[in-house]
Structure formats: C-alpha cells, structure tokens
Amino acid sequence: MIIVGNSIVSDDIADQRFGCDLAVCRGACCVEGDSGAPLMESEVAELQRVLPEALPLMTPEGRDAVEAQGVAVRDSDGDLGTPLIEGGACAYITHAPDGTALCALQHLYKPVSCHLYPIRIEDYGEFTAVNYHQWDICRCARHRGEPLYIALREPLIRRFGSEWYQELVEQINLRNNG
C-alpha cells in the first residue's frame, strides 16, 4: 500500500493497467449493477445545474427516473448515487447509434466516481481508501493502456488535488526505484 496524506492507496493503482474498450464492453458499466454511480454531496448541485441540458440527451426512461427519484438517490446503505432506471441502468445514459451506452452528462458534468473508474474511493473518516475495482464486465480493459495512476491523472487531481497527485507519483517512483 502507498500512503499519501490521509489516503491509503492500493498498490494496484501503481501496478495495474486499464484502458476502456467501448467497442467490446459497449458501456456495460453504465447499465449493469444494483446501485448508481457514487456521488459526493457537493455533486448534487452540479447535477441540478446541468440537468436542463442533459434531459434532451437522456432516454425517456432516464428522464422519468430522474423526475420520479431526483438527480441523486440514497441506496440501501445510505450512500449517495445516481438514480437508476428500472432494470439497473443509470438514469443518465444515452445510446450511440450502434446501441453502446454512453453518458448524457459526459460533456456537461461527469461525476468524479465515473471519471475515476475503475478506481473507487471509500471515506472512512480518518482516512480515505483508494482502490482498484475489478469488475468482470471490464475484463477487456485490463492490461491495456497505462498504469491506473497515469491513465487517471486528471480525475485523481480533480478529486484530491495536484499536490496529492505529485506526492503519489513520488511515492510510486520511490517504491519502484528504491
């Protein structure tokens, strides 16, 4: 594990590679699952702000889900997430002509958890866990691309800040070269 500030970062973030392959998975991460994408409290206002622009891009079922449930919901554990369409898809999906699930929020406001995927963040009060989520539907993306900490540089900085990210890189370099 790698310690950065009050974060415990899994070694997988430094060692594992990941590169989405939409041609293979067809956006399954936006369709599968039993709860929506995790959200931070601060993101609810952003979702409300961009909703008027997102609505025309969303499916009718997605629009209905947001109208009925709101821009964000609490799951059975009390965690905040995106609302789901009956059957499990994120309410904010849209579809490419070939049927690939895409995000209607992509260019308006992408939730940090979606931007970071497959990294998942868990806050435990005194510390934050930064882990690699290995979901079977993403097996086509494993071992492609760059190490996670490089591939997801922008969303890691977005979530934790540039100083935190620089320290992460320094810790990984020390580990790899020391």
Contact 66, 58 (CB under 8 A): yes
Return the half-sphere exposure (C-beta side, CA atoms, 13 A cut-off) of residue 176.
10
**CB distance 62 to 91 below 8 Å:** yes
pTM (2 d.p.): 0.87
Residue 122: which H helix or E strand, with range? Answer: strand 119-123
Per-residue confidence (pLDDT) for residue 149, from 0 to 100 = 96
pLDDT in tens, 8-52: 999 999 999 988 888 888 888 888 877 889 999 999 999 999 999
Residue found under tokens 């940090």: 112
Give the mean model confidence (pLDDT) for residues 79-92.
91
Q: Please report the pLDDT score of residue 178 as a whole number.
A: 67
